[in-house]
Amino acid sequence: PIFLKLTNFFRWYQTFVANYGGVHNLLIKLKANNPRFKTFIHKVETGPKCKGEDLETSLIRVVQRIPQYNMLLSDILKSTPESHADYENLDTAVDQMYETGLKVNETIKEAESTEKVFTISQSLDSFEGLTVPHRRHVFDCEFQQVGGPSGQEKPIMIFIFNDILIVASINGSRYRCEKYSYLLSVKGVPNVDINVEDSVSTFMLLVKDSTYELKPTRGIHRRQLVKALDTAMDLARSIPRDSFVAPDQLQLQTNKKESLKRDTAEVKKARALAEKVFDESPQFRSLVLGYNERSLWAAPIELHDKVLKQKLMPHTLIIGFYRIFIVDAKQKVILDKHIVSLQGIASQSYSMLKIQFSPNVVISGLSQDVDGLITAFRQAYYNSFPGKPFFPVNVLFGPDRVQKEVKSMPLLSGGFVETYRSLCAYHQVEPRSDIIWDASHLLSRTSTFNLSHFQQPLLPEDFKVIFHCLQFVPAFTTVVVDSFPHTKDFFLHLVDLLTHSPFIERLSLTHLEISKDHWAMLVKAFSENLAMPLKSLDLTKTDVSDKGLASLGVSLRSFRIEELILDGKTSGKKGLTKIFDALKSNDRLDHLSLGDVTLPSDVSHFVELLTAPNSLSRLNLTQAKCSKSDYPTLLRAITKGCSWNLTELKISHIPLSNEAAFVQLRNFAKSTAVLHHLDISSTGISGSDFLALLSTLQSNSSLNKVRLCAKANGFTASDGATLSALFASKFTTVQSLDLSDNDYGDEGMLHLLEGINNSSHSISDFVCDHNFKVMSGKNGTRIRHRIASTLDQLASNSSLSIRKFHITALPKEKSTQLREDLLPFLAALSLNRTMKDVNISGHKMGYNGVVALPKCIQINETLSTINWEGNSLTLPGLRHIHAGVLASVHLNSFPIPFREVNLLFEGSSEVVQGDIQKMIIDIQVAIGDVQRKELEETKKLVDKTEKLLTTAIEANAASATPLIRGLAKSSNWRFSASRRGFPNIGMARSPRDEPPPPISSGASEEELLRRATAAHATTKRRAIPLSFKVSGKANISKPTTTSTTSGGEEGGDSTTIKSMALSPRSKKSERKKEHKSSTSEREKVTHKRQSPRDHYSKKLRENKSGKISKSRPVTRTPSP
C-alpha cells in the first residue's frame, strides 16, 4: 500500500501549508509594487512548461492535496467490500490521512498564532520579550474600563496568550502595557480571574493585586472572554515551568539554578548609553556595522589622561558581542580591541577597574558599574570561546565581591563554530559556510580534528583562523594534518598552534614535505609548550632530515609519549639514535612503529631501548632495514625485554630464512604470555619452520586466540599437507590464520580444507586468498571435484566455529578460479550457522552462481557480510541478487561490484539503466534498514543491561545477588564489536586483560556485589566486554561451554559463560517452537521488504541517463 509507506513524508506539507499565507501575500505585494517581477512571472506562467497554469494556482494545489487524498481514499473505501484483501490497508490509510490532515490544520493554527504574537509585539510599547518560542495568541479584544482614575470610561485592550495576560491602553494604532500577569503562578495557582455576578452589563477582571471593571464593546460578549481565559489556562498548565520567561527577568540556568536580572534600570541605562554613542559617533557606527556587532554593555568610565597622568577624563566603555570599544567625550573611538586580546582585569574596589590588552595596552580608571562591566567581559569571552571551561584572565576581586553567572548557549562541535565566527571577525576574514557546516555535522561527535574533512582547497587565511580556533577548543584532543601543500604560511600557523595549544594529545603529520627551517620551528614549538599533553606523534611518510630527527629526540625528553609512528620515508641514522636514547627513560611508551625505516648501523641503542624496562605492547618493524646479522640481535632483545607485555609484533619482510633469527623468534613464542597478533608475511620462512613455530605457539599454555599472518611466504602443497595434520590435532591457540598469496595450489588447498574440516577445535578466522591453482590432466579435475566436496562438507559441519572465511581468486587468472565448483559451497552455506563474513570474489561463478547466491543469503540467518565481486554478473543475475537482498533480514554488509555493474549500465538502454539504478538503490536501502534495526535493538539491550547493573550496584548485597546471578545466566546476551554508533559501547577486549577470577556458587553476597561493581566500573571506564565465570554446581540451563574443572573438584563441573555480550543477532535457540516463531516473523519482514519503494522510483525515472554513483552500502563508523 503506497499511502501507508508514504504517510511519514506528508509531514513536509505542514511546513509548506504553514508558510502559504505569508508567501501568497508577499506574491501579491510584489506583483503590485515590482513591475519587473510581475513581467517575469507573467513570462514564466505563459511558457510551455507551466501549461497555462499561474503561480498562485500551483501554490494552492499543494495546499489542497491532503483534502483531496482524504476524499479519494474515502470513496475507494466505500466501494471496497470488507472481504477484499486491501480493505484493512485502505481503512488504515484513511485513518492516517485523516490524522495527517489534523496535524496540518494544527500547524496552520500555530503558524497564524505565532505570526499574531509577532504583529502584536510590533505595536505594543513598554513591554519587551513578548516573542518567545512557546508563546501563542489566544484572544484579544477592546473593552471599556468603567470607573477609572478620571471617573470616565476609558478604552483598554486585553491580550490573552497561552501563558500571560496583558492589559494595555490604546493610543491611536499603538498600545502601551499598563499591567501584565502570568496566568498561573510558579505553584500553578491562577493569577487572573473574572467575576460576573456583580452586574449584568459589566464584569470585574482581577489581575494580581489590580481590579478592572470592564464593559464589552462592539458586540463582544463577556462569555467569549471567559471562554478564552479558560482555554488559555488549560494551555498554560501544559507548558513546562522552565519555559516561562518574564519580560523583566531573563532566567539563566546555572548549576545552582540561580538567575541574572535583565532589563533592570542599570541594563536599560547601559543600552540607552550605547544607542546614544551609536547615533552621535559616525566612526563608532561604521565600526559596529562593519563588524556586525551587537552591544552587551555600555558604561561611563573616567580614564587617566596620558599627558596629565593624574587627571581623569570621561569616556564610554562599550562591550560588544566580540569586541571592546572606548569612545571619548568627542565621540571618537580611541580603543578597538577583540576579546581575544584581553589579558587581564583587576578590580580591588567597587569603582576601580584596570584592563590589560595585548600588546602592552593598559587601561585604568573609575566607573560606578565595575561589576556589570566585568560580567559583560566574561559574557563576551564566553560568546567567543564557549568551549573553554574557565575565564582565563586575571580577575582580582576585592572583599565581598561575587562573580555573576553568564548566559550559556548550546555548543556546536565543542564550541568550534562559535570560536570560528569570532576569530573570523578578529582576523577580518569572511566566515566560510561550508566550514561551519562541516564542523557542525562531521565533527560534532568526535575528538579528532582532521583537516581533510573540510571542503578543499583551504586558503592560507582559512588555515590561520582554523589553527587559531584549535587553541581555544579543548574538545579536539587529536589533530590530523595529512597531505597538505608545503607553504610557508601553512607551517607558520601550524607552529603557532603547537606553541600555544594546551589541549593536543595526539598529533598526526603524515605525507608532508617539511623543510629544515620549518621542522626546526616545529620542534621548538614542541619543546617550549610544556602545557601540551602530547601522547601520540605520527610522522608516517613525512620526510625528516637526520638533524631534524635528532632535534625531535631531544624534545621528546620533555614528554611521556605513549605512541610514536615513524613509518615511511623518514630518514636518518644519528637522529634515530637520539630518539632511542630519549625513549629509554619513557616507561609509558605503548606503541612504536618503524615500518620501512633504515635503522642505524649500530643497533645497540635500539637494543638498549627494547631490553630496558618498558611497557611496549605494539611493535612494528615491517620492512625495517638493517644488516642481516642484526636481525637475530633485535629478536633476542624483544624476547628479553618485551615478552611479558608485547601483544602485537609485526616483522614482515624481515628475513627469517636466517636460522639464528628463526631461533630467536621461536624463543619469543615460547616466552611470551600475552601475544595477540604476529605478522611474519614475506619473511621467507620455510614450511617446516612455520610448522615448528605453530607447534611452539600451541605448546605455550599462556596464549589464547592468537592472530597469525603468514602471507606470501611461498608455502607449497607439501607444506599444506603437513599443516593439515596439525589442524587435525587440538589446535586451539591460533584463532585467526592468514595464508594468502602462497603457492599451495589446488592440492595444498585441498589438504588445508580437509584438515580444518576434520579438526575438533577449528580456527575462527581463515583467510587463504589467491592460492587455488588448477593442475593439468585428469588429476587436476579429480582434485577440483574433491575441493568442491570438501567445501560443501566444511560449510555443513556444525561442529566447526569458523566465523570468517575468505578464499578469493585472481580475476585475470583462470587457473585460480573455482567457477561452478563453488556452487556446492553456496548451497551448504545456506544452512550454516557460524560463518558471518565470507569472501568469494573473483571466481567467475557465472549465472548459476549468481542465482545461488541470493538463495543463500535469504535462508542464512547468521551471515552478515559477503563479498562477491568478479563473478560474471549479468542483468538477470542482478535481478536475482536484488530480490535476495530485499528478502534477507540479517545481511548488513553487501559491497556492490560497481565495475561489473557499470559495464551492464553502459551497454543497456535508458529503461534498463533506470532499472539498474533502482535495484542498486534498493539494495543499499535494504542494507541500511538492517543496520538501523540492529542498532536500535542493540541500544535497547544495552540500556536494559545497564539499568540492571545500576540497580544491582546501588542496592544492598542481598537484593543485588539475584540480579547478578540472572545476568550471569543470560548467556545469549553479548557485548560485541557490532555496537556501532554508540559512544559508551565499544571496543574489543584488550588481550592483556586478565579474565576475572571465577565466582563460585557459594560466594558471599558481598563478594558478588564487589565483583559486579568492579566489572561495571571497568566497563564504564574502558568500554570492554563484561565477563562472568560461574564455576561449581551452578544451575544454568543450556550453558555455552562446559568443561571439567582443572582443579578436579569431586562431583562438580565447571560451566563458563564466556561473554554476556549484547548482539542484535544473538544465536537463536534450536528448540522447534522458537524456530517456528522466528521463521514466521522472518516471513512477515520479508513480505514487507518486497513491497515497492515508490518514493525512489520517481527519482530513478528522472535520472535515467546518469552514471551510477559509486556509493557503498551504509556503514556505521564507531563514535570515539
Highest average pLDDT, of 168-182, 276-290, 365-379, 593-607, comes from 593-607
Report the alpha-carbon distance of residue 558 to residue 29 in Å, rounded.
70
Report the alpha-carbon distance of residue 912 to residue 906 in Å, rounded.
10
> Which residues on neighbouring strands pair with residue 1056, listed in sequence order?
1041
| pLDDT tens sequence across 31-42 | 888 888 888 888
Q: What pLDDT sits at residue 972?
A: 37
Closest CA to 591 of 670, 632, 512, 650: 650
Report the alpha-carbon distance of residue 277 to residue 266 in Å, rounded.
17
Q: What pLDDT sits at residue 506?
A: 92
Q: Positive or negative CA dihedral for 457, 460, 461, 467?
A: positive
Report the alpha-carbon distance of residue 630 to residue 661 in Å, rounded.
9
Of 143-147, 259-263, 344-348, the one with minimum mean pLDDT is: 259-263
Q: What share of the chain is helix, strand, coil (3-state, %, to 5)?
A: 45, 15, 40
With cut-offs at 50, 70 and 90, classify the pLDDT of residue 350: low
In 3-state terms, what secondary structure has residue 326?
Answer: strand
Report the alpha-carbon distance of residue 392 to residue 381 in Å, rounded.
9
Cα dihedral value 180, 182, 185, 189, nearest 10: 100
User: How far, in Å, are 42, 285, 961, 966 from residue 958 at the CA level?
Assistant: 82, 72, 6, 14
Exposure string over 954-970, b if 16+ CB within 10 A, otherwise e: eeebeebbebbbebbbb
Report the alpha-carbon distance of residue 416 to residue 411 in Å, rounded.
8
Q: 346: which residues sit within 8 A by CB, 6+ positions away?
A: 353, 354, 356, 394, 395, 396
Report the alpha-carbon distance of residue 1031 to residue 1053 in Å, rounded.
7
Report the alpha-carbon distance of residue 973 to residue 941 in Å, rounded.
8
Report the alpha-carbon distance of residue 921 to residue 1100 in Å, rounded.
9
User: How far, in Å, are 63, 184, 498, 707 from residue 725 at the CA level?
Assistant: 76, 84, 57, 20
| pLDDT tens sequence across 403-422 | 566 666 667 677 888 889 88
In 3-state terms, what secondary structure has residue 552?
Answer: helix
Q: What pLDDT sits at residue 710?
A: 94
- DSSP string covering 657-686: -SHHHHHHHHHHHHH-SS--EEE-TTS---
Full 3-state SS string of 196-214? CCCCCCCEEEEECCEEEEE
Closest CA to 901 of 958, 850, 947, 830: 850
Residue 1108 has pLDDT above 80, yes or no: no
| pLDDT tens sequence across 797-844 | 888 889 999 999 988 888 899 989 999 999 999 989 899 999 999 999
Q: What pLDDT sits at residue 1114?
A: 38
In 3-state terms, what secondary structure has residue 144?
Answer: strand
Region 886-901 average pLDDT = 85
| pLDDT tens sequence across 947-959 | 777 776 666 544 4
Report the alpha-carbon distance of residue 1118 to residue 1120 in Å, rounded.
6
Closest CA to 614 of 572, 561, 663: 561
Residue 1004 has pLDDT above 80, yes or no: no
In degrees and rounded to multiples of 5, residue 251 shows phi and psi of -80, 120
Helices (H), 841-909: 846-859, 875-887, 898-906
In degrees and rounded to multiples of 5, residue 1048 shows phi and psi of 75, 45
In 3-state terms, what secondary structure has residue 819?
Answer: helix
Report the alpha-carbon distance of residue 864 to residue 1116 in Å, rounded.
14
Residue 745 has pLDDT above 90, yes or no: yes
Rounded (10°) angle between helices 910-954 and 898-906: 150
Residue with more model confidence, 993 or 515: 515
Residue with more model confidence, 666 or 973: 666
Report the alpha-carbon distance of residue 732 to residue 84 in Å, rounded.
60
Exposure string over 25-43, b if 16+ CB within 10 A, otherwise e: eeeeeebeeeeeeeeebee
Of 8-12, 159-163, 631-635, 1043-1047, the one with minimum mean pLDDT is: 1043-1047
With cut-offs at 50, 70 and 90, classify the pLDDT of residue 501: confident
Q: Residue 414: CA atoms inside 13 Å, Cβ hemisphere, count?
A: 21
Q: What pLDDT sits at residue 187?
A: 52
Residue 655 has pLDDT above 60, yes or no: yes
Report the alpha-carbon distance of residue 328 to residue 360 in Å, rounded.
20
Grid coordinates standing for 514? 617539511
Q: What pLDDT sits at residue 784?
A: 92
Secondary element (H or E) of residue 828: helix 823-829
**Do residues 737 and 702 touch, judged by C-beta distance below 8 A?**
no
Residue with more model confidence, 62 or 1048: 62
Closest CA to 604 of 562, 637, 628, 649: 637
Q: Cell 611521556: give the residue.
A: 560
Q: What pLDDT sits at residue 716?
A: 92
Q: 700: which residues sit within 8 A by CB, 6+ positions away?
A: 669, 670, 672, 733
Q: 799: which residues sit within 8 A by CB, 6+ positions away?
A: 760
> Which pTM was predicted?
0.60
Residue 1083 has pLDDT above 50, yes or no: no
Grid coordinates standing for 1054? 565447571
Closest CA to 354 of 297, 397, 290, 298: 397
Report the alpha-carbon distance of residue 373 to residue 378 in Å, rounded.
9
Instruction: Note the maximum CA span of the chain.
Output: 122
Grid coordinates standing for 397? 576581586
Report the alpha-carbon distance of residue 628 to residue 800 in Å, rounded.
42
With a pLDDT cut of 90, the percent of the chain lying above it is: 14
Report the alpha-carbon distance of residue 669 to residue 737 in Å, rounded.
16
Q: Cell 554613542: give the residue.
A: 277
Highest average pLDDT, of 1-5, 943-947, 1085-1089, comes from 943-947
Grid coordinates standing for 144? 471599556
Indicate the average pLDDT of the chain: 75
In 3-state terms, what secondary structure has residue 612?
Answer: coil
User: How far, in Å, are 635, 943, 946, 952 from residue 961 at the CA level?
Assistant: 49, 20, 16, 7
In degrees and rounded to multiples of 5, residue 1016 shows phi and psi of -65, -40
| pLDDT tens sequence across 457-480 | 888 888 899 999 998 888 899 999
Q: Cell 503562578: give the residue.
A: 185
Cα dihedral value 422, 428, 430, 434, nearest 10: -50
**Do residues 833 and 806 touch, judged by C-beta distance below 8 A?**
no
With a pLDDT cut of 70, the percent of the chain lying above it is: 74
**Do residues 765 and 801 touch, judged by C-beta distance below 8 A?**
no
In degrees and rounded to multiples of 5, residue 148 shows phi and psi of -75, -170
Residue with more model confidence, 871 or 110: 871
| pLDDT tens sequence across 101-145 | 877 777 777 777 877 888 888 888 877 667 776 788 888 888 888
In 3-state terms, what secondary structure has residue 881?
Answer: helix
Cα dihedral value 424, 425, 429, 433, nearest 10: 60
Residue with more model confidence, 519 or 247: 519
> Which residues on neighbouring strands pair with residue 619, listed in sequence order?
592, 649
In 3-state terms, what secondary structure has residue 997?
Answer: coil
**Could you tell me how far CA 1064 lies from the centroid of its own chain?**
20
Cα dihedral value 249, 250, 253, 257, nearest 10: 0
| pLDDT tens sequence across 748-784 | 999 999 998 888 777 899 999 999 999 888 888 999 9
Secondary element (H or E) of residue 1031: strand 1030-1031
Q: What pLDDT sits at residue 409?
A: 62
